Amino acid sequence: TLAAPGTGRRLTVAPRPSGATHPAALAVGAGTGDLALWYLTPVAPVTRPMPPEDERTLDQVTFLTAHNAYANGVDGGFAPPFVSLFPNQSRGIERQLADGVRGFMLDIHQTPDGAILCHNSCTLVSRPVALWVDLQRIVDFLRAHPGQFVTVFLEDYVDPGVLRAELARVQGLSDVLYRPDRTGVREHGWPSMGQLADAGQRLLIFTDHGRAADEAAGLTRDTFGVMYQREWTVENHWSMGPGLGASDWSCYSRWYDAGTNVPLTRTEPGFRPLFVMNHFRDTTVASTAGTDNSKLADRAGRFCRPAARKKPNYLAVDRYDLGDPAAAVASLNTYTYP
């Protein structure tokens, strides 16, 4: 702890405001209070060369990830007319896969037709795409490319029964679905990419929905293969600011509210959560996204990696086709972080 000698005044963590989604502020006060924890993180940490592709473990690899991958204006509608003028991506899911995108952030909303991909609401959305359709595209790609691994992140606004029924429509899903809850990951760490390929387990699906609500409803999503993201990952706050103007590069946990506190630094004995690094704005403006994406490696190295004390595993961006974010992914995939 840091203290003023002879005064009893220490640097503490101030009380968190009700419903706050930002880090607790530091304060100077008397007594112990909630003492701040300090870590010494090297500016230029010691790294190791990345192992061969089959030997590197899942938590050593970085994947290019498309934020709101469905909001592309190619595969179908995703938002009401005005909002649809600002797509997060410009290419359809199949093209994204061909271009090397391996993480897909998808928003699902419940309608009479099932789990549908829409931004905020499916009201006034023309020709929206069902979740199962995009998942089928991904499964078909994995069948054709047995060495590849894909992760899906669901911003999830549907009942568990609706999601289960939606997944049941995807042909071949069970053949490629990866279940870390059944393979001792929490005790022994993540498997190698070679092990995952040999087992055919090459699609990992996360939900941001909470377990407690599902338990109250009598059906948890992990019983049918959808993992609760807060149990397996850490993730930084999702926005760098408005679509135009200066950006906020600070990296702090997204999972910070009245009932949740999952710090970016969380690590357990034998288990290192996967790190999802968000790098996008409130609104997608193409010129801004291109500039931001060109600076992705710099922010990852100087801000987010030190904040989490782990290398990002998923670099999530808007307009992945601008600013060459794939170069940042390639750079991160040359080394491992202790």
**Nearest by Cα to 202 from 334, 102, 277, 104:** 102
Q: What is the mean pLDDT of the chain?
A: 92
The pLDDT value given to residue 213: 94
**Residues with Cβ within 8 Å of residue 301, at least 6 apart in sequence:** none
Q: Does the structure show a pLDDT above 90 at 130?
A: yes
Number of independent structural domains in the chain = 2
CATH classification of the domain holding 323: 3.20.20.190
Asked if 107 and 117 touch (Cβ cutoff 8 Å), the reply is: yes
Q: Within a domain: residue 268?
A: yes
Q: Does the structure show a pLDDT above 60 at 107?
A: yes
Residues 24 and 68 in one domain: no
The pLDDT value given to residue 223: 98
Residues 63 and 22 in one domain: no
The pLDDT value given to residue 44: 76
Domain that holds residue 87: 49-336
Q: Within a domain: residue 322?
A: yes
pLDDT classification of 28: cutoffs 50, 70, 90:
confident
pLDDT classification of 260: cutoffs 50, 70, 90:
confident
Q: What is the pTM of this model?
A: 0.91
Q: Within a domain: residue 44?
A: no
Average pLDDT of 265-294?
96
Q: What is the pLDDT of residues 113-124, one digit of tens each?
A: 999 999 999 999
Instruction: Give the total residue count for the chain.
Output: 338
Q: What is the pLDDT of residues 158-217, one digit of tens each?
A: 999 999 999 999 999 999 999 999 999 999 999 999 999 999 999 999 999 999 999 999
CA dist., res. 2 & res. 202, Å (int): 47
The pLDDT value given to residue 271: 95
